[in-house]
Amino acid sequence: MLETLDLKARLGNKACREAMDRLELELPILHRAILEHGIPVLVLFEGWFSSGRGDSIGQLVHHLDPRATRVHVTHASSEEDRRRPWPWRFWRRTPARGRIEVFDRSWYYLLWNQHDEGSLDAARWERELQAVGEFERQLVDDGTALVKCWLHIGPGEQKRRLKAWAKDETQRWRVSDEDWKRHRAYPRRLALAEEMLARTHTHRAPWTLIEAEDENHRRVRVLAAVAEAMRHALEQRGIPVPTPELLPDAAEAGHPLEPIVVADPLKAPPPIPPDSPLARVDLSRRLERDEYAKRLKKAQARLRELEFLCYTRRLPAVVVFEGWDAAGKGGAIRRLTESLDPRGYAVVPIAAPTAAEKAHHYLWRFWNEIPKDGHWAIFDRSWYGRVLVERVEGFAGEAEWRRAYQEINEFERALVSHGTVVVKLWLHISPEEQLDRFRRREQSPLRRHKISAEDWRNRGKWPPYLAAVSDMLRQTSTTHAPWTVVEANDKLWARVKVVETVIRAIEARL
Amino acid sequence: MLETLDLKARLGNKACREAMDRLELELPILHRAILEHGIPVLVLFEGWFSSGRGDSIGQLVHHLDPRATRVHVTHASSEEDRRRPWPWRFWRRTPARGRIEVFDRSWYYLLWNQHDEGSLDAARWERELQAVGEFERQLVDDGTALVKCWLHIGPGEQKRRLKAWAKDETQRWRVSDEDWKRHRAYPRRLALAEEMLARTHTHRAPWTLIEAEDENHRRVRVLAAVAEAMRHALEQRGIPVPTPELLPDAAEAGHPLEPIVVADPLKAPPPIPPDSPLARVDLSRRLERDEYAKRLKKAQARLRELEFLCYTRRLPAVVVFEGWDAAGKGGAIRRLTESLDPRGYAVVPIAAPTAAEKAHHYLWRFWNEIPKDGHWAIFDRSWYGRVLVERVEGFAGEAEWRRAYQEINEFERALVSHGTVVVKLWLHISPEEQLDRFRRREQSPLRRHKISAEDWRNRGKWPPYLAAVSDMLRQTSTTHAPWTVVEANDKLWARVKVVETVIRAIEARL
């Protein structure tokens, strides 16, 4: 199969830009439909070392909703993994309905290496290939959209890349002796890969083979493959597939969008009490677009370096995003993660607790999600829900939320004491700015799903929320884990401040 | 604190028997109340090596409902554990409401060893003791009943036990050089333990110090401590605490129990079709009590040896219990596990799927529960629900349950191919025997909770269930994972056959 690939394939910058523009519109729309209809999606990336898996995964997740997406790095097996049948580690991570799980390496890498190293004899190799087929068929039969991408480069190109990395101080750690050994065994490993691909290229779980020597070509092919798989999964279920062309047109042509709620329940925004930590926040802070672009680019590049450094020095970090509805948390998180290697961090979205979560201590689910050494966890909302929404809405009793300040401080101290960097960001906007953003969301067909009657209802509770936020900032801003209030009336200012704050906190620890 | 213990404390056999008789009645009743009121319970066992933790845990879980109890062995830390703050591994295992989690070793062992080995300096030791206090206080504040047992023996007794084990071939593996080294450091470790216990003996999370040189004394003290903690948790919530004396009396004295459903919905049990694998089952098989006691005792002793052998040779096993309502699965599982070291097996009760389980492939939750090498998992109901209850009740579509036979065979083959022993037991009773048992359950105040209107309703669906069971036996009894039909009209016969079947299956593999 692989000999059919044209490794000379190149895509010019202009053609690439055009294709990407279209995909960037298409992917979020498709993902929304996938979410809405509860379709599980599993995307796996295989191929040669240095073929651009990391970059492809970064490109991909950047266009997906981080609340329903997760990247799994599976090339290393743990002691727990080795003591069970190999499917165990992958089954555990199979997507729930509506989720996209992205695998960097998979069962293929495991079997490819084991066979290459001689720890799978011929009979076992046969059995395991059959087991792969069974595993994939079971997932597909159950409705999972399975996308298998093989990134292909030739031995010459691989050598060139390994050498370039070995020369670059920030990349050198990526190349091990093992990688060079495998590079020298390229022909033998190619034959094995050929057999493995051919045997597992089935009607219902086909491979997408991607020429990966040209970066433009690879990026477009990867995104297109995933978009195509999502579209196919929707079509199979008879769901009309939204296209970026149709959507805005239909909206403009005679379907003026009605506001969801006409009256604003927060008539006259009350002044912030002078003893609140929010009273002295200067919401007029702003950035011009030129300066924004310059500073953001610089900060993102630095952040990527810090991600590598944290990984090599095994420093974990936790970044907490809290803020008013429509304060721009999602956009800020996207800017923070845009340049990062998705294998080094996870975005953890926090919604209402599940039944299992409700049956435990409220900190239980957060303990479950803390990052391991060398990794970052970015919380989109967090344990502070206990003293914000749960307090205001009465989901937690007064004794419970009053106790929570101490519990949270203790929780964060346990993280810091282990060596974790903890960054906590409160995105602050004025009630007037919030009203403006709500109205604009209602009028945008692409962003209308982001606002509901509940948002308007919450807005009516601005004063009790203000009291809760003020208490939270006063009681949980500790030396080991201080709060940073981000002035967010201007999104450009807010995004740069977020990235720069994270950089400063990590640099202080390194 | 420890110097106050009288290690010479002895309890005569008669006094022990009386105390145990009472506790054996009391514990299940208390556990039922704990379950009903959703109280989380965490019981941890600490103390000296060879002080009888394993035996104590075995005694304890034997009196608790296995569907709401789990034993966690935490003395070894995995790579995943070491890369996170130490509370992570314990927080993940904290009990949900209504569950009892039993810890063999805990955070104390971790800190005790680290301090003893010099990897915790004095300041860190202080900080970690404080973190322990915080962790425990948070759990207790949230309603968890926390029982901390320290099993205490002197250095002379420890030496005697280590020597005895070293001489016994089946026990020798338990004693490592490290254990001898720690034994020689007994005085130094005692001083550390003293400090640790004193510092963490708090009002709300007190230690129960138990003299463990005399087995009778230790066993009674452990069960009494747990019973006391459960009673205390109930009283704190103002829940009337049931006592074994009151319960049967009250029932007899003028509250005759009404049957839950008067009419039997299964009027005339239909004959079993001659082509069903169940048609030739001889339900008249029975055992006299004498022979039962003899054979069961012998089989249980052998099973315990096999558990050790499986552990040392890293052989995993899966035992699946399926059968008609009231066929005696619970009693059979209790006889199977009675003699086992609870650290080597887990009973996995399967109820209706949770929301998270429903959002995945139906095999996902079973993959999550398969045992690691050297361990056993005993499934009280299983993935066969797909082709039994889900088929009959229509929870799975026809295409889904028809596909499931193959999927299940593939799943089990994956286990066997890894080296797992798979034993599948169908406990078979006649509809007449079931009716009899339902009626007796209704009349027993202690066992009445085991029957509900739903059981009667299911009984009305005997014919479609019979068809489903027959299909299941025909289609999933494979050479690698055969079904054993257990004639269960006589409970004694059934229990012995269950234990002996598991023994044969494991011996065949060793």
Q: Is B138 on the interface with A (CB under 8 A)?
A: yes
In sequence order, the 6+-apart residues with CB closer than 8 A to the CB of B52 are B151, B212, B215, B218
Question: Stretch B296-309: mean pLDDT, rounded?
Answer: 95
B367/A96 CB distance under 8 A: no
CB proximity under 8 Å: B 59-88 to A? 78-80, 83-88
Distance from CA of B424 to the nearest CA of A (A): 19
For residue B13, pLDDT beyond 70:
yes
Which of A18-22, A72-76, A319-323 is predicted most confidently? A319-323
Q: Residue B448's pLDDT is what?
A: 74
Report percent pLDDT > 70 for chain B.
Answer: 96
Model pLDDT for residues A366-397, shown as the tens digit of each residue: 999 999 999 999 999 999 999 999 999 999 99
Single-letter amino acid, residue B199: R
Count A/B contacts: CB-CB distance under 8 Å: 131
B97/A359 CB distance under 8 A: yes
Residue entry with tokens 């266009």:
A63
CB proximity under 8 Å: A 328-387 to B? 354-356, 359-364, 367-368, 370-374
Element (H, E) at A294: helix A289-313
Distance from CA of B144 to the nearest CA of A (A): 9
Residues in chain B with CB shorter than 8 Å from the CB of A134 are 407, 410, 414
Q: Residue A253's pLDDT is what?
A: 45
Model pLDDT for residues B63-78, shown as the tens digit of each residue: 888 778 889 988 778 8
Cα(A74)–Cα(A109) distance, rounded to whole angstroms?
Answer: 9
Residues in chain A with CB shorter than 8 Å from the CB of B138 are 361, 363, 407, 410
CB proximity under 8 Å: B 314-333 to A? 314, 316
Distance from CA of A123 to the nearest CA of B (A): 12
Distance from CA of B68 to the nearest CA of A (A): 13
Mean predicted lDDT score pLDDT of chain A: 90
B127/A407 CB distance under 8 A: no
Cα(A287)–Cα(B219) distance, rounded to whole angstroms?
Answer: 71
Question: Stretch A351-377: mean pLDDT, rounded?
Answer: 91
B131/A414 CB distance under 8 A: yes
Q: Residue B66's pLDDT is what?
A: 79
Q: CB-side exposure of A255: number of CA atoms within 13 Å?
A: 8
In chain B, whose CA is at the least distance from the CA of A143?
Answer: B361
Distance from CA of B333 to the nearest CA of A (A): 24
Q: Residue B171's pLDDT is what?
A: 79
B79/A84 CB distance under 8 A: no
For residue A254, pLDDT beyond 60:
no
In chain A, whose CA is at the least distance from the CA of B134?
Answer: A410
A84/B370 CB distance under 8 A: yes
For residue B257, pLDDT beyond 70:
no
Single-letter amino acid, residue B366: F
Instruction: Put residue B293 in one of left, alpha, beta given phi > 0 → left and psi -120 to 50 → alpha.
Output: alpha
Report percent pLDDT > 90 for chain A.
Answer: 68
Interface test with A, best of B74, B82, B84, B315 (most A CBs within 10 A): B84
C-alpha closest to that of A241 among A26, A95, A38, A19: A26
What one-character-per-residue DSSP string does A404-415 give?
Answer: HHHHHHHHHHHH
In chain A, whose CA is at the least distance from the CA of B125?
Answer: A417
In chain A, whose CA is at the least distance from the CA of B127?
Answer: A417
For residue B410, pLDDT beyond 80:
yes
- Range from A48-52, A436-440, B40-44, B76-80 carrying the lowest mean pLDDT: B76-80
Q: Residue A456's pLDDT is what?
A: 87
Distance from CA of A401 to the nearest CA of B (A): 11
Q: Residue A401's pLDDT is what?
A: 94
Rounded to the nearest angstrom, the gap between the alpha carbon of residue A467 and the centroid of all alpha carbons in its chain is 32
Distance from CA of A68 to the nearest CA of B (A): 13
Interface test with B, best of A39, A90, A367 (most B CBs within 10 A): A367
A372/B80 CB distance under 8 A: yes
For residue A303, pLDDT beyond 60:
yes
In chain B, whose CA is at the least distance from the CA of A356?
Answer: B96
For residue B258, pLDDT beyond 80:
no
DSSP state of B80: H
CB A177 within 8 A of CB A167: no
Residues in chain A with CB shorter than 8 Å from the CB of B120 are none
- Identify which has the larger pLDDT, B121 or A505: A505
Instruction: State pTM to two decimals.
Output: 0.77
Q: Residue A257's pLDDT is what?
A: 64
Label residue B220 by pLDDT band (50, 70, 90).
Answer: very high
Label residue A6 by pLDDT band (50, 70, 90).
Answer: confident
Label residue A251 by pLDDT band (50, 70, 90).
Answer: very low
A144/B360 CB distance under 8 A: no
What one-character-per-residue DSSP string does B120-132 give?
Answer: S-HHHHHHHHHHH
Residues in chain A with CB shorter than 8 Å from the CB of B410 are 131, 134, 138
CB A108 within 8 A of CB A196: yes
Q: Residue A378's pLDDT is what?
A: 96
Q: Residue B65's pLDDT is what?
A: 85
Question: Which value does ipTM take for this structure?
Answer: 0.73
Question: Stretch A408-423: mean pLDDT, rounded?
Answer: 93
Which backbone phi and psi does A267 adopt, to 5 degrees?
-60, -75
Burial class of residue B360 (count of CB atoms within 10 Å of its CB; 0-12, 13-18, 19+): buried
Q: Residue A258's pLDDT is what?
A: 67
CB B44 within 8 A of CB B71: no
For residue B279, pLDDT beyond 60:
yes
Distance from CA of A395 to the nearest CA of B (A): 14
Mean predicted lDDT score pLDDT of chain B: 90
Cα(A476)–Cα(A504) distance, rounded to whole angstroms?
Answer: 20
CB proximity under 8 Å: B 211-250 to A? none
Q: Is A275 on the interface with B (CB under 8 A)?
A: no
For residue B343, pLDDT beyond 90:
no
For residue A262, pLDDT beyond 50:
yes
- Identify which has the larger pLDDT, B381 or B78: B381
Model pLDDT for residues A100-154, shown as the tens digit of each residue: 999 999 999 999 999 999 998 888 898 899 899 999 999 999 999 999 999 999 9
Torsion over CA of A135, A140, A146 and A150, rounded to 10 degrees? Answer: 50
- Range from A68-82, B323-337, B366-380 carrying the lowest mean pLDDT: A68-82
Residues in chain A with CB shorter than 8 Å from the CB of B359 are 38, 96-98
Model pLDDT for residues B108-161, shown as the tens digit of each residue: 999 999 999 999 888 889 889 989 999 999 999 999 999 999 999 999 999 999
C-alpha closest to that of A423 among A278, A283, A322: A322
Model pLDDT for residues A488-498, shown as the tens digit of each residue: 999 999 999 99
Distance from CA of A269 to the nearest CA of B (A): 37
Domains in chain A, CATH or no CATH each: 2-236 (3.40.50.300), 289-509 (3.40.50.300)
Q: Residue B244's pLDDT is what?
A: 66
Q: Residue B74's pLDDT is what?
A: 83
Residues in chain A with CB shorter than 8 Å from the CB of B85 are 370, 414-415, 417-418, 420
Q: Kindly state the tokens that stand for A229.
A: 């798989």
C-alpha closest to that of A413 among A480, A368, A366, A483: A480
Residues in chain B with CB shorter than 8 Å from the CB of A114 are none
Order the strands of the B69-73 sheet from edge to edge: B69-73, B100-104, B41-47, B145-152, B207-211
Cα(A238)–Cα(A251) distance, rounded to whole angstroms?
Answer: 23
- Range from A22-26, A462-466, B55-59, B258-262 carrying the lowest mean pLDDT: B258-262
Strand partners, A229: none
CB A373 within 8 A of CB A315: yes
Indicate the length of chain A as a whole number.
510
Residues in chain A with CB shorter than 8 Å from the CB of B364 are 91-92, 94
For residue B97, pLDDT beyond 60:
yes
Q: Residue A398's pLDDT is what?
A: 92
